[in-house]
Structure 1
Amino acid sequence: MTKKIHVIPHSHWDREWYFTTSRSKVYLMKDLQDVLETLEKQPEMRFMLDAQASLLDDYLAWRPQDGDRISNLVQKGQLVIGPWYTQTDQMVISAESIVRNLMYGIRRCSEFGPVMNVGYVPDSFGQAGNMPQIYRSFEMDSTVFWRGVCDDMVSHTDFEWEGDDGSRVLAAQIPFGYYIGGNIPESEPESSRFWEQECLKKMGHGATDNVYFPNGFDQAPVRKNLVELIEQRNAADPENTYVISTVEDYLRDVKAAAPDLEKVKGELLMAKHSRIHKSIFSSRSDLKAENTAVQNYVANVLEPLLVISASLGNEYPKKTVEYIWKLLFENAAHDSIGSCIADTVNEDVHTRNKQAMDTALALAELHGRLIATSVAGDKNRLSWTLINPLPQKRKGVRIFTTYVPSDSFGIVNEKGEAVPYTILSMRDLTEYVLNQTIVLNPSDQPEKPEKVYEAVIALKYEVPALGYAQYQIADENTAALLVESDVLENEFYRISVNKNGSLDILEKQSGRLYKNQAVLEENGDDGDSFNYSPPRQDMVIRSSASQADVRIESSPLVSRAIIHLDMKVPTDLEKRSRGIADTVMPVTMTVTLKRGEPVIGFETKVENRGLSHRLCVLFDAEMQTAFNFADQQFGSICRPNRYEKEMAWYEQAAEEKTEAAAGQPVNWAQSNAWQEPPISIEPCQSYAALSEGERTVAVFPQGVREYEIVDGSVIRLTLFRTYGFMGRENLLYRPGRASGESIIETPDAQLLKTMVYSFGAAFVPAALNEARLPQLAKDFNSPVEVYEYARFLNGRLIFSQMETVGTNDRELSLLESDGNLVVSAIKQAEDSEGIVLRLYNGRHQEAVGDRVRFVRRPAHVYELNLREEKIRELPVVDGEVVVDPIGHCKFVTLLVEY
């Protein structure tokens, strides 16, 4: 049968890996110059720039004179660019990061000409289950990828992929990777053997007579004589047709053939033919925690705060927000966020995380100040402006650090009513703070207090939806005292701490007692930067075998338990194999229970002194289940606790490989055995849970977002893991060759330092959907922002500014939703001053709608796609818009214009 072989020239350009971005950018200058020159000399030639707009920005920053050359070649269809900004990971990265990556990538590439309208991800470690819907909302109907699917699922490399919401795209898998055609021999008989073996036999498993054959590999230069080689091949093999092609040309021919495509549904994480590295979610756990923190802050707090500020007439700083996101995109690249990179490169990742968070915090501080000082009132009176980034009214307890002029004071709300608070700690910083004050107008001296204390307080608050409320200091003391206690207690729980530091948690509504919770579990890690892998001779140590020092403090607003443990652990894998625990690892876990809040807060501070090990925390749901629940991008996902069917495939393939592998290298035949076993270590976005009947138990990670279900009952949440090499051979969880470079040591990845990891837990007497875990997670990760203003602080502490006269009310709300759908984004539109509101259905297998009520009636409300293009106008009736019910994992994007 005649085949049409689409030879697709490209380079998969890792901006960093075992080399730094700086080094790769230097080589990009040379390689892209060669690409431009080759394309200009050979009109028949094509070249795909790995779908990354960031490469254009990198190149043009140093060679701006080539901008017109690039535009000319893009418009001719020779240089293929977009749609991504960077080649993102899909499992660790948030939904908004993925959406913005595509949005900014498309917008940047459109400045040069046509953008490749395909979800091209040649090396992402698995495919997230909601990517088809994301692609469709960007007007893409196709995707091309390598990893995550196997021939036990589908027999052809072209198939229809259905997302968890029901959206469908044409998928083309690259079964042997993007590098399979990268080394074409130029002499016979090697050339004919290569084309026959590597192209026709290995790649010829599509659903049509078209064959996808990529010509390129990592950081590959352009093959300048490729046109000549293709002409020679056509002459040598007249039965088939070989053409220099593009991804879109290949997909166009597949669609034209109208094959009856097989169907695959949901997330794709099977590692039979290609490695998925299904525990890379915890590599360099410190950097994963940084990424989680900055992603949450930018999307959940900063952008809504800026919308509130813009509603008061302040400029929405779009370019600064774009700068923050692009720093995150650089770190979202699959190797960078995977942390499967050299130590020196991880230093760069940390620096970008720090730059992104520093900029986001400073931007929020500035606009918090603009909001606070816009309020009318006594300018000499210290105030706290509480800014709510969610579109629902909220009340609870917020813990924050503040400066106060006395150790005994009162707080009143916008109505003048007394507000209770509790001082958790305090220190005198009078001289330091007052020496920072700068008076820009000597004719208007601020009142300086005699004393200034830095205090950590827990404040009871109530704030309107997507808005603010301003509280002020008062003379009459409203403090609720913190006293020693035996238990932690609020409306939902009564918690006692056992002698070994574990918790007995009484869930009050049902009366059920969950015993021995929050146990720490330490064991060895024989893996590398790509994979966790248990040692062949492991030693598991649990905190339940230790003796804890416990202190419990309580007030009517907050209860805290400070639990200290000295866990004895092995120094290294050699000591572990001999059962020797010879190193003390100090751990302090602070458990916080706030009034009115159903999520128990945990902060675990660890002074790590051990090598090559892992620390997890265990919560026993006391139920036997076969499935668990977590959230993914834009919705929930149900996974089996053990992959029985896939494990049977794996075990059968392993037996066949053992019988056939005599005399062959360990990785002798990639197609005949799995690259990794189908383990049940899973990623999540903001929660993981077990549910049975009218009971649901969940954890809410704010650092590493990786979990595993043990014995159908226990949620094992990873806090951190450590290792000493980028790659290692023959792991239990990844047999065969090393991933990455086995000679590159990564001593920094042993994390020999003090670290803090935060998470939450909830025990809910309700079925899964009624437990409202997505809303609990969003609330947990979207704290009310507090901005303190006092004239004596105006100076070096907060940058000096001229005083202004406020005219706004002490309370404001922009809009409010019922909260049935979960907020993904509240931001300003890219091409207008309208408000973009993105909502999704977080419930499991159940459609739900919502209502959005506006304080000020908008002129128009539109539904948008992810490109922020208008789809239809929605009616505004009685100051509100009704969002029709949307199905499982569906999202909807609205544009509100005034």
Structure 2
Amino acid sequence: MAEQLNIILVPHTHWDREWYLTFQQFRARLVHTIDKLLDILDRDSNFTYFMLDGQTIVLDDYLEVQPEQEERLKKYTRAGRINVGPWFIQPDEFLVSGESLIRNLQVGLQRATEFGEPMRIGYVPDCFGHIAQLPQILQGFGIDNAVFWRGVGAEARKSEFLWAAPDGTRVLVIHLADALGYSNARMMPLAPDEFVSRVKLLTAQILPKATTDTLLFMNGSDHLEPQDGLPEAIAAANPLLAHISPEQEKMLAEFGQVQQNGDIKHFDGINVRIGTLPQYVETVRSQNGKHEGRKEEGGKEGAQEDLQVLTGEMRSGQFSHLLPSVLSSRMWIKQQNAATEHLLEHWLEPLTAWAWKLGATYPAGLVRMAWKYLLQNHPHDSICGCSIDQVHRENAVRFAQSQQIAESVITQAMQGVAEMVDTRAPIQTTHTQHKAIPIVVFNPAPGPRTEIVQAVISYAGTLRSAVITGEQGQHVPFTTVNRWRQELGSAQLPRETIAAAVMLMGADAPGEFIRMAENTAATMLGKPEGSYEILRVHIDTQQLNVANIEVLIAPRGIATGRDHELLAAEQQILALLQREDIHMLNISAIDQARETIDFVANEVPAYGLKTFWVYPRGIKEETSTTAASALSGEQQRIENEWYRVEASAEDGTLTITDKHTGAIFTGLNRFVDGGDTGDLYNYCPPAQDVLVSEPLEPPKIELVSTGPVRAVLRVSGRWLLPSAVSADRTERSSRTTACQIVSDISLTPGVRRVDIHTSFDNKAKDHRLRAVFPVPYRVEDVAAEGTFEVRTRPVAAERPADVADWSEEPVNTFPQKRFVDISNGTTGLGVLNRGLPEYEILQDGPGVAPGQMAVALTLLRCVEWLSRGDLSTRRGHAGPMEHTPEAQCLGHQEFDYALVPHSGDWQAEGALVLREAQAFNIPVRAVVPLSDVSNEEHWGKLPVDRRHPREGFLPSRATLLEVEPSEIVVSAIKRSNTGKGLIVRLYNPFSHAVEASIRPGVDLARAFVANLQEEEQEQLFWSGDEGEPLHVGLRSGEIKTILFQ
């Protein structure tokens, strides 16, 4: 029996906030677009719905310009005629963290709720592929569907399917399978006959993949305004579509058939109506059936089993451009983003939450603002680096603003927590106790861990003979980085003026003059009299008629034992006042010497702090002995207790011997540079490429340091690179330019990691630079950290025999977060990175010998154009052909990465590679607690001062949180958005279920499982009494949020 085919047409606009124009230029168009939309809705009740691209930031961008339109706008959002949310911005998924995606939805849904009922559709229409954990993230917000275009290949038989996350959580996917995706029905012709023809054409393209009698037409595209007159065009066309002649029915049948429950559906008419994505999703659900109560092992109940189930990432370029090389465009953006995300997620939120639980005021507005500046850089055209140069200059400003806010708040929070710590020195010496200077070291990552940390110490003398100890008294290695003083103030006074004041003192002048000077200095610095003391005076009378007097001052209470020197200086000054040849006294006050020191902070607890003490000279013999250093080095070689690293005199590559396993890795850190004729979306090698993999001459190898804090080997070399590509873009230029590459390779005692800092002076254009790390074995797959998971991928993408009709060539470069690990099951090499998200596994090429494979880590990819239409790796343009010379990334570039040779795979030794990747990206920090300056003063410019050790509420070693096993990943520790509890989010990266125990280090009494919107779902049996741990189970791949109150 013939039936009617229904079409839901969704009017919308897709709003790239910045791209080939800047944000402000696009905003001017946005204001006009929404003004026009409101006018249409005012006068046409048949224009029933419009979708604002699933992101709420467009509301804020509009209302900043048109605040008087807020109530008018809310009238239609609250009535459901304008659909808003759920996102704050339309993000890229692979280049931002999982926590960023969660904050994005939290902010977007909260803002959308202020405008009515949010659109609970997982609408990500234009993302360059999709992460495997997106279904679980969406379901965490009560969103049971996803609607998108890119990334789906022939594995999807129909345009509707189920997509399962690694833990089994599923969403219904509406794949916008047409070649134009979210734009398939843009700018519909308004004349009835033409409208009908367009409907039939679109139907022919969509119907073969449909699973229902309802099709989805997306009436909009990039920056398009609402189409005025659309309801009238539909009304005029529907009668022409309602009854199809037998001949037309035959044509319609050729478009495709819909099969449901084994039955073939035939259509003899079409009806078009304006609708919404929620309406379409509900229609698909109703026609595909629900099997409530079915529970898949490790999965969810209530899935539609007559739909195909797919799993994993969506990264195919078969039917639509995936644009995979955005992973390496403008690499500085990726580095800045990773640094800012780690700052907010692992420092700002946990530290402010800890300070809040200890009684401090929570800076909610500043935390929110830091996140908003960061999120505004997460639209795909921004974070992917594929916009015009001016857009990315503005990205840099937003990163800086987010970091500035975060650093200021973190400084205050660290000082606030440190003031609660018992910093009384544990070692009793013959010297006064306040001689010990406490340093509180914070670790917001798993632990206990040992790392180098930097602190600034202010002390009247010198630290050359000092020692640093932990709570047990064992010395830890340290070294002075630099030493300096700061002028606090100066004055130029006539000699007669000071002499007259001294005359008034009469016989009391000797001894009282110094006290008068101390009170004057305190007043000059805005402090009470008596709060500062003079430590030393230096007098210089070499300038004609002038005496220059430099006075070293410090907060009172620092014993110096040099009173006789001050009395002698006082007598010198009193004598100067009697000299007729001295007309003027230039007096300057300077503070104590400040020393920046690096020291090895050992065994700092997870998500906690540990106190160390600096003892000045003279007490070394009264503390326990220093542990023997594990560092050593000589020309071309350094080692610690874990690794031996040697640099080749011929080409500068590294050989690492793993002392734990005996494995030897050679040829590491080889730089390979090739041409790139692509654009900001796709890498494209020249037809005749030239790979440069050797330096111009043997490199210079220096032993920079052999301890005591770190051993550093420096490898410097010049690389002769082609200056650009040829004019016809078929090969690299014959002209060359010499570029300097310098790598500092570092080992730290107690740290199982080889750290590498590489700088590159880029003078070449149109090229890609990679660091290559061979391993002496071959494998079929590797493990790379992804979003809330560690993903196992084949070493190369599956490539069909014929890809001529693909929109893009399949590529072997893949995304990663903080590491990729290549292991044969017995031994392995983890390659860690800071903000370098692209890797490839090489099976041959420079430096890869027979029987070997290599990890290639992309450091830089340099191109000249936003989009080009002549690439062999992609069919057609991906955007406008805009000139982007700054995308060549000329000038000084820096990169940080690290190597972890290990036994087994990445899961071995307590997930060593994962833990070291976290530690590498989240360095520990130190603070010297303050004495005379309150926390309310000088946010972000807190004076560095030595305080007297004192009794505190917190022990000298404390934790905010203890989590076992330590390889369970804690992705968030934060105050809940309601301000009523502490959120702890963790996930299980393993392929098996794990039971975790959580022991908070602050007073809490109840615990709940919460969703990602931080709403209570289930109360857990836990009271928090006497340090009782909370036990929670996690399925393989599961993300779990715990709300403590």
Return the TM-score normalized by structure 1.
Answer: 0.92
Identify the residue that residue 72 of structure 1 maps to in structure 2. 75
Residue from 647, 655, 664 that aligns with 1:497: 647
Q: 1:826 aligns with which of 973, 977, 980?
A: 973
AA at the equivalent of 2:652: G
Question: Counterpart in 1 of 2:285?
Answer: 255
Q: 2:592 aligned with 1:588, yes or no?
A: no
What is the deviation of 1:207?
A: 1.0
CA distance in 1, matches of 2:437, 2:808: 59
1:417 is the counterpart of 2:473:
yes
Q: CA deviation at 1:862?
A: 0.9
Secondary structure of 1:567's aligned partner: strand
Distance 1:757 1:402 in 2: 29
Determine if the alignment matches structure 1 residue 296 to structure 2 residue 342. Answer: yes
What are the equivalent positions in structure 2 for 1:757-836 lying under 5 Å apart? 757-771=895-909, 772=911, 773-789=913-929, 799=941, 807-809=952-954, 810-818=956-964, 819-836=966-983
The corresponding residue for 2:861 is: 721
Whole-angstrom CA distance in 2 between matches of 1:342 and 1:515: 41
Alpha-carbon distance between aligned partners in 2 of 1:680 and 1:247, rounded to the nearest angstrom: 35
With normalisation by structure 2, the TM-score equals 0.79
Task: Please identify, of 319-328 and 123-132, the stretch whose mean Cα deviation from structure 2 is larger.
Answer: 319-328
CA distance in 2, matches of 1:363, 1:498: 46
- Structure 1 counterpart of 2:898, which letter? G
Instruction: State the distance in 1 between where 2:397 and 2:314 align.
Output: 32
Separation of aligned partners in 2, 1:891 and 1:258: 28
Aligned to 2:1041: 893
Q: Distance in 2 between matches of 1:310 and 1:440?
A: 30
| Partner SS, residue 928 of structure 2 | strand
Structure 2 residue corresponding to 1:321, chosen from 352, 362, 367: 367
Distance (whole Å) between structure 1 residues aligned to residue 944 and residue 896 of structure 2? 38
- CA RMSD, 1 decimal: 2.7
In the alignment, what sits opposite 2:599?
A: 458
Aligned counterpart, 1:341: 387
Task: Spell out the pairing of 1:122-137 with structure 2 (5 A cutoff).
Answer: 122-137=125-140
From 741, 753, 761, the equivalent of 2:880 is 741
1:92 and 2:92 are equivalent in the alignment: no
- Contact 2:633–2:639 under 8 Å retained in 1: no
- Deviation of the 1:443 alpha carbon: 2.4
User: Aligned-pair distance for 1:341?
Assistant: 0.2
Q: Distance in 1 between matches of 2:142 and 2:866?
A: 38
Equivalent position amino acid for 1:799 in 2: K
CA distance in 2, matches of 1:691, 1:293: 28
Shift of 1:268: 0.4
Instruction: Name 1:554's counterpart in structure 2.
Output: 706
Q: Mark the CA change 1:491 to 1:74 in structure 2 (over 3 Å): closer, same or farther.
A: same
- Whether 1:573 and 2:725 are equivalent positions in the alignment is yes
Q: Give the Cα–Cα distance (whole angstroms) in 2 for the partners of residues 870 and 770 of structure 1.
A: 35
* Match of residue 444 from structure 2: 389
The whole-number CA distance in structure 1 between the counterparts of 2:416 and 2:336 is: 27
Match of 2:547 in 1: none
Aligned partner of 1:55: which letter? V
Task: Report Cα offsets for 1:299-323 as digits up to 9, x if no partner.
Answer: 1222112122222211221221111
Deviation at 1:629, TM superposition (A): 0.9
Task: Choose which of 186, 195, 199 in structure 1 pairs with 2:199.
Answer: 195
Cα distance in structure 2, aligned partners of 1:802 and 1:847: 47
Counterpart of 2:61 in structure 1 is: 58
- Give the SS at the match of 1:652: coil
Residue 186 of structure 2 corresponds to residue 210 of structure 1:
no
Asked whether the equivalents of residues 385 and 469 of structure 1 are also in contact (C-alpha less than 8 Å), the reply is yes
Alpha carbons 1:568, 1:581 under 8 Å: kept: no
What per-residue deviation string (whole Å, max 9, x for no partner) do you get for residues 743-799 of structure 1? x11111111111111111111112332151322222222222222356699998963
- The 2-side partners of 1:617 and 1:433 are apart by 47
Query: Match of 1:13?
Result: 15
Residue 5 (structure 1) shift:
0.3
Match of 1:739, SS state, is coil
> Which range moves more in the overlay, 814-823 or 236-245?
814-823
Indicate the residue corresponding to 1:161 in structure 2. Answer: 163
Counterpart check, 1:107 vs 2:120: no
For 2:435 and 2:441, the matched residues in 1 are separated by: 18
Q: What do the CA deviations read for 1:112-162 (whole angstroms, capped 9, x no partner)?
A: 110111100110000111101111111111110010102x21221111111
Which residue is 1:311 aligned to?
357
Shift in alpha-carbon separation, 1:797–1:212, aligned structure 2, 3 A: closer
Q: 1:807-847, CA deviations, whole angstroms, 9 ceiling, x for partnerless residues? A: 4444432321111311111111000242111111122x222
Inter-partner Cα distance in structure 2 for 1:12 and 1:380: 64
Cα distance in 2 between the residues matched to 1:89 and 1:79: 24
Identity %: 27
Q: Distance in 2 between matches of 1:833 and 1:432?
A: 46
Contact 2:722 2:732 in 1 (8 A): no
Q: How far apart are the structure 2 equivalents of 1:508 and 1:800?
A: 44
Question: Which has the higher Rg, Structure 1 or Structure 2?
Answer: 2
Superposed counterparts of 1:233-248, under 5 Å:
233-238=237-242, 239-248=269-278
- Note if 1:865 corresponds to 2:996: no
Unaligned runs of 5+ in 1: 655-672
- Where does 1:21-40 land on structure 2 (aligned, <5 Å)? 21-40=23-42
Q: How many residues align?
A: 870
Residues 640 and 578 (structure 1 numbering): CA distance in 2 closer, same or farther, change over 3 Å?
A: closer
Letter of the 1:184 counterpart: M
CA distance in 2, matches of 1:798, 1:58: 30
User: Cα offset for 1:536?
Assistant: 1.3
Query: Equivalents in 1 of 2:487, 2:835: separation in Å?
Result: 33
Amino acid corresponding to residue 780 of structure 1 in structure 2: F
SS of 2:28's equivalent in the other structure is: helix
For 1:864 and 1:586, the matched residues in 2 are separated by 52
1-structure distance, mates of 2:346, 2:697: 38
Which of 516, 538, 549 lines up with 2:689 in the alignment? Answer: 538
Counterpart of 1:229 in structure 2 is 233
Question: Is 2:415–2:930's contact at 8 Å kept on the other side of the alignment?
Answer: no
**1:608 pairs with 2:762:** yes
CA distance in 1, matches of 2:413, 2:1005: 26
Partner amino acid for 1:517?
L
Q: Give unmatched runs, 5+ long, in structure 2.
A: 243-268, 290-305, 424-432, 491-520, 534-552, 555-590, 621-625, 844-851
- SS across alignment from 1:894: strand
